[in-house]
Amino acid sequence: MINKILGLLGISAKAGKIVSGTDIVLENIEKNKVNLVIIATDASERTINNFKFSCEKYKVPLFIYGTIDENSKAIGKDNRAVIGVKDKNLAEAIKNKISAEVK
């Protein structure tokens, strides 16, 4: 299942439907341009808490998933702890896959 989720992140990145990095993702959350946020499991506690607060405030689904290394590799970037998915359909597909894996 991990490969499918990372594959969807890769497709989203190639389609230009994601933003990555803490500042850019926060900015896009505040502008209501992000439909899903994924934070790496090994992100700092401060980063996780900041995004939990922002996502709750702006009603954006948040998942803590994958490592910084795995997620970064999937989107073709280096050292990205936070990824925001802008496309509604891709966000829904990723959310469903992660939810199915957790069950």
CATH, residue 89? 3.30.1330.30
**Per-residue model confidence (pLDDT) at position 101:** 81
H or E stretch covering 83? strand 82-85
pTM summary value: 0.94
Q: How many helices (H) and strands (E) does the chain have?
A: 5, 4
pLDDT in tens, the chain (103 residues): 458 999 999 999 999 999 999 999 999 999 999 999 999 999 999 999 999 999 999 999 999 999 999 999 999 999 999 999 999 999 999 999 988 887 6
**Per-residue model confidence (pLDDT) at position 3:** 84
State how many domains the chain has: 1
Q: Which amino acid is at 48?
A: I
Q: Which domain holds residue 71?
A: 2-102
Is 6:65 a contact under the CB 8 Å cutoff? no
